[in-house]
Amino acid sequence: MSSDAPEPAASGYTKGGCSASPAAGSDKDKLKEKEKARVNRTSLILWHAHQNDAVAVRKLLEEDRSLVHARDYDKRTPLHVASLHGWIDVAKCLIEYGADVNAQDRWKNTPLADAEGAKKHNMIELLKSYGGLSYGQNGSHFEPKPVPPPLPNKCDWEIEPSELDFSNSNIIGKGSFGEILRAYWRGTPVAVKRILPSLSDDRLVIQDFRHEVNLLVKLRHPNIVQFLGAVTEKKPLMLITEYLRGGDLHQYLKEKGSLSPSTAVNFALDIARGMAYLHNEPNVIIHRDLKPRNVLLVNSSADHLKVGDFGLSKLIKVQNSHDVYKMTGETGSYRYMAPEVFRHRKYDKKVDVFSFAMILYEMLEGDPPLSNYEPYDAAKYVAEGHRPFFRSKGYVAELRELTEQCWAADMNQRPPFLEILKRLEKIKENLPSDHHWHIFNT
């Protein structure tokens, strides 16, 4: 197994009832301990399936056969995980213990649909030999056809491609999915995320595109990039948002270096306002890729910031404010990634608070966090318990203290964005007007 694999959670293997108090031995406490142990074992079998560790999977199933039906937040079973990666030995072990070869995740994908989507031919043969069917958005039962609108009814945000003027367009961003262009829509400059035509029939790309559109339709906030419309009925698929002339925070920091405390606090307030809106319960949106490139400046005066790019975001209907979820590990950008994401642990909205701390550090220091490390190595270093070193010496101890609390190893120790906002407002009130950082190279 990888050296980055999480340690088995101790609480999953210890027995309760050690305390002398009568409450410790109550049925309620025993039920809580039992549920805690079950959650830990669920996380473990999914992790070991992901790591292709058939021995560990078999050991867990020998202890508890019901784990073969374990599900993560997205209702994916260990067999889904093994099928996606093509881990034959793990899949055989799971099937031996009674795994449902036609279990469906939240997108109605079966393990065979995942194997087909990932082109794992040996796995496809294995699953078919046990009666596996290919259902779901990734499955072969869904033949390529025009992409339906993300919402069931024709909406006023559906844009006719002829309304978009690309005659003087220029590329302002690129990715594996396609490109982002500055264009005009009804005379207004806009940013257009355009999916490559070659990917317009790719089921996973379509799924991600529809997911992002569905999220953006719901968002209305002055510190969130405004969605204007989308092209979903014709190719290429396009997503249209407001165009922000100031560029992104990454480029701004590259040019300006470290910011004055007053500017850093004002920027941080704008980011935190947008994030507090996203994290509002009960419908919490976890950004999962908060970084300077995804924070945009409204204009060249840099007097207003907005959070953008929700391609990796997750909409979570929170039943309990302390709920945590097993979601896709290593989602987002390594340099700003929370340690629990890198280590494939359960995580919640506090991953965005960690990323916010890294951005705040970068604004104060002028350099990306752990800039002397490659991104993956930086994430690994952070997951081992290390944090960036402050070189700036100034009078604003509260800013450094807030940053350190936001990147705490224990996500429960990180403050929520509503609290971060209050603390930033207080810091702003007490900030001397002539304050500046002094940089010392150590």
Reported as a single tens digit per residue, the pLDDT across 355-380 is: 999 999 999 999 999 999 999 999 99
For residue 145, the model assigns a pLDDT of 41
Q: What is the mean pLDDT of residues 331-354?
A: 86
Helix axes 350-365, 261-278, angle to 10 degrees: 160
Cα–Cα distances (Å) from 29 to 17, 19, 102, 195, in that order, read 8, 11, 36, 52
Are 368 and 324 part of one and the same domain?
yes
Are 298 and 373 part of one and the same domain?
yes
For residue 155, the model assigns a pLDDT of 65
**Which pair of structure tokens corresponds to residue 237?**
């698929």
Integer Cα distance of 12 and 272 in angstroms: 36
Residue 153 domain-assigned (yes or no): no
Q: What is the mean pLDDT of residues 96-117?
A: 90
The one catalytic residue among 53, 72, 105, 289: 289
Are 382 and 315 part of one and the same domain?
yes
Bridge partners (DSSP) listed for residue 239? 193, 230
Nearest to 124 by CA among 136, 137, 139: 139
Position of tokens 């997205």? 74
Cα–Cα distances (Å) from 109 to 73, 116, 204, 284, in that order, read 14, 11, 11, 24
For residue 394, the model assigns a pLDDT of 61
Q: What is the mean pLDDT of residues 278-303?
A: 88
Last residue in a domain, options 211, 242, 273: 242
Last residue in a domain, options 190, 210, 242: 242
In this structure, what DSSP letter does residue 389 have?
P
CB atoms inside a 10 Å sphere around CB 279:
23
For residue 269, the model assigns a pLDDT of 97
Binding-site sequence positions: 193
Residue bearing the bigger pLDDT, 7 or 107: 107
Binding-site sequence positions for ATP: 193
Residue 140 domain-assigned (yes or no): no
Mean of the per-residue pLDDT values of the chain? 82
Are 257 and 362 part of one and the same domain?
yes
Domain that holds residue 185: 161-242
Integer Cα distance of 176 and 105 in angstroms: 26
pLDDT confidence bin for 211, thresholds 50/70/90: confident
Integer Cα distance of 404 and 93 in angstroms: 44
Nearest to 269 by CA among 316, 222, 310: 222
pLDDT for 386-412, tens place per residue? Answer: 999 998 766 588 999 999 999 999 999
Are the beta carbons of 306 and 223 closer than 8 angstroms?
A: yes
Per mean pLDDT, which range of 63-67, 212-216, 290-294, 386-390 is the poorest? 212-216
For residue 331, the model assigns a pLDDT of 45
Integer Cα distance of 286 and 305 in angstroms: 19
pLDDT > 90? residue 43: no
Integer Cα distance of 283 and 431 in angstroms: 35
Helix and strand totals (H; E) in the chain: 14, 11
Three-class secondary structure of residue 438 per DSSP: strand
Residue 374 domain-assigned (yes or no): yes
For residue 438, the model assigns a pLDDT of 45
Residue 21 domain-assigned (yes or no): yes
Integer Cα distance of 51 and 45 in angstroms: 10
Question: How many distinct structural domains can be found in the chain?
Answer: 3
Are 203 and 332 part of one and the same domain?
no
pLDDT > 50? residue 37: yes
Percent over 70 (pLDDT), the chain: 80
Are the beta carbons of 113 and 134 closer than 8 angstroms?
A: yes
pTM of the full structure? 0.62
Are the beta carbons of 394 and 350 closer than 8 angstroms?
A: no
Integer Cα distance of 340 and 359 in angstroms: 18
List phi, psi (to 5°) of 165.
-105, 110
| 289 assigned to active site | yes
| Pairing of β 295-297 and β 305-307 | antiparallel
In this structure, what DSSP letter does residue 267 have?
H
**Which pair of structure tokens corresponds to residue 437?**
């950082």
Bridge partners (DSSP) listed for residue 307? 224, 295
Are 382 and 353 part of one and the same domain?
yes
pLDDT > 50? residue 1: no
Residue 268 domain-assigned (yes or no): yes
Integer Cα distance of 34 and 129 in angstroms: 37
Residue 302 domain-assigned (yes or no): yes
Are the beta carbons of 8 and 44 closer than 8 angstroms?
A: yes
Q: What is the mean pLDDT of residues 190-211?
A: 82
Are 345 and 255 part of one and the same domain?
yes
Residue 2 domain-assigned (yes or no): no
